[in-house]
Structure 1
Amino acid sequence: MKITEKEVRYVADLANLSLTEEEIRRYCTDLDEILAYVEKLTEVDTSHVEPMAQVLYEAGVGSTLRSDQVRSSFSSEKALSNAPLSGAGHYKVPKVVER
């Protein structure tokens, strides 16, 4: 699959990025190389590989993640007490993306 400049411009627009013509050409090349590599990965025979349910630990070792436990914490009011701006029980932040 060949990535076109039109597709790069479309994605850049979605991300609200301004790209130069050189960057657009470079991203076309870079994305083509990435997609070619992914295509190679789809050709790898994994029929002899056992499916994995959890990649964070080896079988029999047990989970390396802590168990979920209810613990006491701050009230919403206390958590928001030092916030420069809050409302409706949430932190408010200034608008950073304009379109």
Structure 2
Amino acid sequence: MDKISMTICGDGGYDDSYSVTCNVDGHPYVLSITDTAGQEEYRGLLSASTLNSDASLLVYDITNPSSLETLHQWRRNNASRTSSDCAKSLKRNPEL
């Protein structure tokens, strides 16, 4: 079974985590979303949630300068824990 994992750096406006198994073209995928609210103490979740992932999404808050500043470290950590063929995406929130 393939695995897709997302780590969301946000304001805590969502549940802390969400996981569901989806079937795409007859293949099961696990979609896991983890909202860390960008907090330092949740960095350990990143290594567990992105291990063997096929995709990763990082979200930052454009209205909060510190969110963008810490994004660079989240990206480095994410890149060091995922394979080179892992699809990586960056999303700004709120979208303009």
Shorter-chain TM band: under 0.3
Indicate the structure with greater helix content.
Answer: 1
Indicate the structure with greater strand content.
Answer: 2
Q: Which has the higher contact order (CA 8 A, sep 6+)?
A: 2
Q: Using structure 1 for the length normalisation, give the TM-score.
A: 0.19
